[in-house]
Chain A
């Protein structure tokens, strides 16, 4: 559950999940939605995969991401979207900023 909190604590990752709620998307399509470097996006995808919130599948030459969230996790996402990070555990915030720093240096 800690991994889920960590994944949901970052606004970029929450936006990725929001986009995937509509339909499965390729890694490229998702990356195009954000003004960040591809390695940073890869780091975000890795965190989401680690938390088992998305699944990646290779179709031809493309990697397609799709949502893999339980009802409870979706409720948590909506909660995090509505109230921001303040109500998430402190550890999750720290973990998120660490991931951000790692992504920036990558």
Chain B
């Protein structure tokens, strides 16, 4: 399976899991197996699935390599790719963990802060690297 097919399969699986989680929550409520707030359950399930999806996608980022002829500084590009992948993986794990464990009142702001922080760090790393490369080139 190539990376494009993997991406499509992963995306479809993610969508199916989200829909499945919503239906499962509704089913549990309808059958009386779950007596709590069904919307909280849905939010938590969607949060955990989304966090794990980010981990799944970020995990394979360092595996997608660009031919060396198209990279000006291979060592630099490799370090940047590894940093971005690790940051997003940790962000995704924290996001999923927060939705799983944190009290509902704190889950949303903490989750947004964790994943948003990871994305911000990623963008910052790309900007800093881009600027330093541009400076080096003069």
Chain A residues engaging chain B, CB cutoff 8 angstroms? 21-24, 52, 55, 57, 59, 64, 66-72, 74
Contact = CB atoms under 8 A, between A and B. Distances in A.
B59 A72 contact: yes
B82 A59 contact: no
Contacts of A71: 58-59, 61-62, 85-86, 89
B60 interface: yes
Contacts of B58: 71
- Category for how many chain B residues contact A: 10 to 19
A33 B54 CA distance: 37
Interface stretch (B16-24, B44-52, B66-74, B105-113): B66-74
Nearest to B88: A71
B63 A68 contact: yes
Contacts of B75: 22-24
A57 B68 contact: yes
Contact of B59 (A55, A66, A70): A70
A70 B74 contact: no
Nearest to B58: A71
Nearest to B74: A24
A22 B74 CA distance: 10
A74 to B, nearest CB: 7
B133 interface: no
Nearest to B64: A68
A21 B81 CA distance: 11
B132 interface: no
Interface in B12-60: 58-60
